[in-house]
Structure 1
Amino acid sequence: MAGEWVKRKIGSLGRVVTGKTPTTADSSNFGGPYPFITIPDLDGRVLIDRTERTLSERGAEILRSCLLPPGAVMMSCIATVGKCGITTQPSFTNQQINSVIPNDDVDSRFLYYVFTQLGHELESSGSGGSVYTNVSKSRFSNIEVLIPVDLGEQRAIAHILGTLDDKIELNRRLSETLEQMARALFKAWFVDFEPVRAKMEGRWQRGQSLPGLPAHLYDLFPDRLVESELGEIPEGWEVKAIGEMAEVVGGSTPKTNRAEFWEGGTYHWVTPKDLSHLSLPVLLDTERKITDAGLAQISSGLLPQGTVLLSSRAPIGYLAIAEVPVAVNQGFIAMRPRQGVSNLFLLHWARAAHDEIISHANGSTFLEISKASFRPIRLVAPPPAVMLAYDRLSRPLYRRVVENERESHTLAALRDALLPKLIRGEIRVKDAERFLKERGLC
């Protein structure tokens, strides 16, 4: 070890705070300057700088004893345990999260990494209830962790792991920007028909380039809109069923009690759960894999890379492009683009048409859309030349997103391999630093 390490109870590392929720019946408690952090906000980011909900000054006053300063380290302790994050500004959490406001001898970022390893301890500390795991404030406070006495060593360890997380976060932010650009391009061309309107209104002249409208594309677009069953659409464009644009298939689950379908499997088998944690619509891996025998149980077989996946129930709407060949379970609409159709067009159409897709779903327990109900959904289909131009403009954006996601997966695997060894003092900081420098990461 680089220095002395000691076991300490979490409660001795700082003040432990369990969050609360102000009454939701009074809307004046919400919508203000204070982040109100719940489990969905603990989405893999280290620094929680944005949240789904906020509290007003009134709501903050009600929960003033639960106020967390910047640098507080949070962990979910009810239902889903072990999700972590660090506050970046004065914030509040709900009752599912325990937080530590660290003492001066404890580094926030180091403590965050310690907490990410506490999933097993939290499970074993839970109440054992049949409905959900519940780690109380007192049980949480009594969990023992191993930490270096030297604050400098804590910071050095946190710096090594943080270097990897910072690069992952940078990739995520860049990819989100690229994805927003791709969505905006789709909306402009295929929802708002902006190129056509720009020509109609004289805002786009031959030889002129506009944002998202290079000059060489001028002749691809008409200069008038015509009536259709879906309202006004560009002249020469068609209304088609999605089933004409893509081959729509579903999947199934091989019997889970048949070991020969699962053990040693090499084929990616995807469920909606695999898409639920994605921040970007790129699927690189799946939690479970199946064998040749398992694959033979699924009528749609192995779908090719580039297939667009849409969850069809509980909930409807998770979306991704499979960047590996996959088999799917029964919770999907899988779209294989037909000749001349871009899978990026299908991806962004499915996102833009979410409400329309939902309107064709049914079910008493939960909404589900069947393949038969999905295939007839109508959409505006551009001519092949416009489809090709769109793909050529949007494809580089998507490829960069995929590259970023692949790099982030590699970085996360490296971080996860180093993390337990570093925070238990099993490898020296200098050795870890040298390891990262050899890979150009530190």
Structure 2
Amino acid sequence: MTEWKECKISDIGTVVGGATPSTKNKKNYENGDIPWITPKDLSTFYGRYIKCGERNITKEGFDSCSTRLLPKNSVLFSSRAPIGYVAIAENEMCTNQGFKSVIPNKNIDSLFLYYLLKFNKDKIESMGSGTTFKEISGNTMKNIKVCIPSDIKGQKKIAEILGNIDDKIEKNREINNNLEQQTQAIFDSMFPNITNGENTIGDTITPKRGKGLLSKNAVFGNVPVVAGGLEPSTYHNTANTKAPVLAISASGANAGFVSLWNIPIWSSDSSFIDSSMTDDVYFWYVLLKKRQREIYDSQTGSAQPHIYPQHIAAMPISDLNFDDVRNYTSIVTPIFEMIGHNKDENARLATTRDTLLPKLMSGELDVSNI
């Protein structure tokens, strides 16, 4: 029987904050080689081990502020905007002030600590304070009470069970990234000059826009509401698109992000192209995925810049040979079907992991004999 003990986070590791070098001094960032992580970096990060963020800082930038160098296997935990992003440092790195990271003691397994913080996310978040947005202070983080196996062997067994599931999820993502690269390579070979021409996307297809937020009376179900173009914001029992569908985020930090869904979605404020509009969704997905920056740059408005379907429709393309488009669709459809299969498997694996997490972290499932 695995023995458990109650302790504070400060008993199992050193809680470390971060800081931001002045952005007015270019020398703090230009040609920097010290990985520097912000919560935004984790907003689109779906793995466990992170190497670097969007920007590095220089030695001068590091010395100019109070950020600290975290050793490999430190566990990053975002402490504001939002609270609860978790990742493990794959190498030495530092963070901005939006983290209360934990450097595990020698008798604490870092992967177990990762899952421990994920399990306690809601508890930690509930202890945040602040009016504009909630934040966890260093002192609060240190005094969070948790229960852990007394023996590191028990920690490692729990981490291994959960880690094996995440290993498979991450392997499927890696496979899917490779498969998408194949579809892009085929696209580049068949349509090398497609962005050059006097025609526009709107001459061939008219992207639509979601009808805004759902009614307050909508019933929750299993259809994702895609507002940001990334992960679904919630689920309802209605849809305004037919799978497959590509959704293009309309505003915010991820504006212009192009995502592909193999299930019906409610596109909310996003622009979209779905299979009710064309049999060649995969063709349009790859074309627009390659032009995300161009879409982002087409935003209009001052208070809240926005992307509308007409911006996408106005993008230039060459005169299309529709036999080539149909041929491309026939070639890549099996590839995208494999991608969809892997996504479905990952959804099932994630459900299994999330079901096991509280049972393992509470000791309800004993791992001593595994």
Question: Are 2:218 and 1:288 equivalent residues in the alignment?
Answer: no
8 A contact 2:227–2:267 mirrored in 1: no
2:181 corresponds in structure 1 to 180
Q: TM-score, normalising length from structure 2?
A: 0.89
1:41 corresponds in structure 2 to 41
Query: Can you give the 5+ residue segments of structure 2 that lack an aligned partner in the other structure?
Result: none
CA drift at 1:378: 3.3
Q: What are the superposed Cα offsets for residues 178-216 of structure 1, whole Å, 9 maximum, x if unpaired?
A: 2223223323432447xxxxxxxxxxxxxxxxxxxxxxx
Distance change (3 Å), C-alpha of 1:340 and 1:381: farther
| Mapped partners of 2:14, 2:224: distance in 1 | 44
Aligned partner of 2:344 among 406, 423, 432: 406
CA drift at 1:428: 1.5
State the SS of the aligned residue for 2:7: strand
Aligned partner of 2:227 among 255, 272, 278: 272
8 A contact 1:340–1:388 mirrored in 2: no
Distance change (3 Å), C-alpha of 1:430 and 1:394: farther
CA drift at 1:126: 0.9
Of 180-189 and 95-104, more deviation after overlay is shown by 180-189
1:251 corresponds in structure 2 to 210
| Mapped partners of 2:190, 2:321: distance in 1 | 12
Question: Are 2:70 and 1:68 equivalent residues in the alignment?
Answer: yes
CA drift at 1:106: 1.0
Q: What are the superposed Cα offsets for residues 374-413 of structure 1, whole Å, 9 maximum, x if unpaired?
A: 4344322431221123223333332222222211111111
Q: What are the superposed Cα offsets for residues 203-255 of structure 1, whole Å, 9 maximum, x if unpaired?
A: xxxxxxxxxxxxxxxxxxxxxxxxxxx75x6xxxxx54323433432232466
1:344 corresponds in structure 2 to 282
1:307 corresponds in structure 2 to 245
Instruction: State how 1:52-201 maps to structure 2 within 5 Å.
Output: 52-62=54-64, 66-127=68-129, 129-192=130-193
2:291 corresponds in structure 1 to 353
Question: Are 2:281 and 1:327 equivalent residues in the alignment?
Answer: no
Distance change (3 Å), C-alpha of 1:137 and 1:401: same
| Mapped partners of 2:334, 2:233: distance in 1 | 25
| Mapped partners of 1:145, 1:245: distance in 2 | 58
Distance change (3 Å), C-alpha of 1:89 and 1:358: closer
Q: What are the superposed Cα offsets for residues 284-313 of structure 1, whole Å, 9 maximum, x if unpaired?
A: x7622145xxx7xxxxxx321123222233
Q: TM-score, normalising length from structure 1?
A: 0.75
Distance change (3 Å), C-alpha of 1:349 and 1:29: same
State the SS of the aligned residue for 1:392: helix
Distance change (3 Å), C-alpha of 1:161 and 1:63: farther
Percent identical residues: 29
CA drift at 1:56: 2.4
2:331 corresponds in structure 1 to 393
Point out the structure with max Rg over C-alpha: 1
Aligned length: 366
CA drift at 1:34: 2.2
Distance change (3 Å), C-alpha of 1:100 and 1:312: closer
State the SS of the aligned residue for 2:363: coil
8 A contact 1:245–1:337 mirrored in 2: no
Of 357-366 and 170-179, more deviation after overlay is shown by 357-366
Structure 1 counterpart of 2:164, one-letter code = T
**Aligned-pair Cα RMSD in Å:** 2.7
Distance change (3 Å), C-alpha of 1:395 and 1:3: same
Query: Can you give the 5+ residue segments of structure 1 that lack an aligned partner in the other structure?
Result: 194-229, 234-238, 278-284, 296-301, 434-442
Instruction: State how 1:214-225 maps to structure 2 within 5 Å.
Output: none
CA drift at 1:50: 3.2
8 A contact 2:48–2:87 mirrored in 1: yes
